[in-house]
Amino acid sequence: MAVISIPLTNLAATPLPGGLATARPNLLDLDLKGCEALVTSLGHKAFNGRNLFKWIHKHGVLDFEAMTDLSLGLRTQLHDTTEIRPPRLAEEWPSADGTRKWMMELADGQRVETVLIPLLIPQERRNTLCVSSQVGCALNCSFCATARQGFNRNLTPGEIIGQVWHATRWLGVPPSNVVLMGMGEPLANFDNLVTALSIMQDDLAYMAAKQRVTVSTSGIVPNIYRLAEVSDVSLAVSLHAPNDALRDELVPINRKYPLEVLIPACRNYIGDERRRRVTWEYVMLDGVNDSPTHAKQLIRLLEGTRSKVNLIPFNPFPGSDYRTSPSERIIAFRDRLIRSGLFTTTRKTRGDEISAACGQLVGRVRDRGRRAPAPPAWPLPVVAT
């Protein structure tokens, strides 16, 4: 398994937004309206903001001088007062199954991970990009390697959309599907998430249809309601348990927002549109949540909610005490749900040998919470020079 070192110029040389007051604004942080407002504040017509936005996202151009339909005066102003700073692509790990993991370095030296997963169907070039939303995660789900890293900060809109920007440049076209299922809890970074979603779906940028973008949450109920007011992307919920007692242990945010308030919030999100459904993510943990009784409880819990259940074989990581449920138990669990009328699939594990599978992303995080030391990283190969 080869590991590729990316010899790129460090694009993250300036301070972070919210850091030094002299930091130049990063134009990746701006949606279309933001670009138009910036350009008009510089004394130019708003349509130039549309052109600027299109150059950055549709064409992937970072050099203002190459934006030939902008006037020389505007290009000079933009060069002198702003910058376009995607995260730096630091390392790359390709997997035998076609999955590719990228380590993205941010302006403050923190690193997050992004995963591109090709759809293994002949004659089709579809793919899914798994994007991170935070440096680490504060929710401390017990079966997740990201949670063991602790939490440092939210990603900016530019750091979120910068992952899509890089994938688009690598693929030559925007990714077919984008899932906010990487490092972090997207709804804990609400405002920056919404800006990034706006950019993803804009026709002048990545043209992502609502059913092709999925936000995954562990269950921050107030922000599920807020998201329903401003966005129509697909919703996935990290459920992992069919009752409060077990979910309190596996997904601690459940102690604040238990199932009795989570389920109504999700029903509200999908509304009356018959084609919409909530995707429930359910990691299969040997002897923990995989019994026939758990299946029966899950069926009762989801009754009356338009649902898709995605069973996820647990992906082990150093320091974890959990084991993956045996395949025959996963099949029996799945079949019981299907017989009840629940649309149920089992996620195929992809990229696990490069620690790119669900629950394995770690990045490099300086934990501001100073929790227990993180477990050792997976033993990835030495980067070639």
Those residues whose C-beta lies under 8 Å from the C-beta of residue 106, and which sit 6 or more positions away, are 12, 16, 87, 88, 112, 135, 155, 159
From the number of C-beta atoms within 10 Å of its C-beta (0-12, 13-18, 19+), residue 275 rates as exposed
**Is 113 in the active site?**
yes
- H or E element, residue 111: strand 111-118
Task: Map tokens 């009795």 to a residue.
Answer: 260
Q: Could you say which of 36, 92, 105, 113 is catalytic? A: 113
Which among 280, 176, 174, 271 is positioned nearest to 235, based on CA atoms? 280
- How many C-beta atoms surround the C-beta of residue 361 within 10 A? 26
Token representation of residue 245: 């007692």
Those residues whose C-beta lies under 8 Å from the C-beta of residue 149, and which sit 6 or more positions away, are 136, 137, 183, 362, 363, 365, 367, 374
For residue 70, give Cα distances in angstroms to 43, 82, 166: 13, 15, 24
Return left, alpha or beta for 113; rule: phi > 0 is left, psi -120 to 50 is alpha, else beta: beta
330 close to 347: Cβ distance less than 8 angstroms = no
- H or E element, residue 4: strand 4-5
Task: Map tokens 């690193």 to a residue.
Answer: 111
For residue 359, give Cα distances in angstroms to 179, 181, 262, 320: 14, 9, 22, 11
- End-to-end Cα separation, the chain, in angstroms: 15
135 close to 150: Cβ distance less than 8 angstroms = no
Token representation of residue 18: 């919210």
Distance of alpha carbon 138 from its chain centroid, rounded?
15
Please list the active-site residues.
113, 358
